[in-house]
Amino acid sequence: MLLLLAEYLQQFYKGFAVFQYLTLRGILGVLTALSLSL
């Protein structure tokens, strides 16, 4: 869901293009899982 939002916002602000990188998405996924498990 957040990926779709980032793709939409990319039209207006090019900074959201960073969410297209698989590495960043993987790191954010790991951090989200870690924070939810605590």
- CA dihedral sign, ordered 14, 17, 19, 21: negative
pLDDT tens-digit profile of 13-30? 877 777 777 787 888 889
The alpha-helical segments, DSSP class H, found in 1-38 are: 2-9, 22-37
Residues 3, 8: Cα–Cα separation, whole Å: 9
Position 4, amino acid: L
Averaging pLDDT over each range in 8-12, 16-20, 30-34, which range is the top one? 30-34
What confidence category does residue 5 fall into, taking pLDDT thresholds of 50, 70 and 90?
Answer: confident
- List the chain domain ranges: 2-37
Asked if 16 contacts 10 with a C-beta cutoff of 8 angstroms, the reply is yes
Overall pTM surpassing 0.85 (yes/no): no
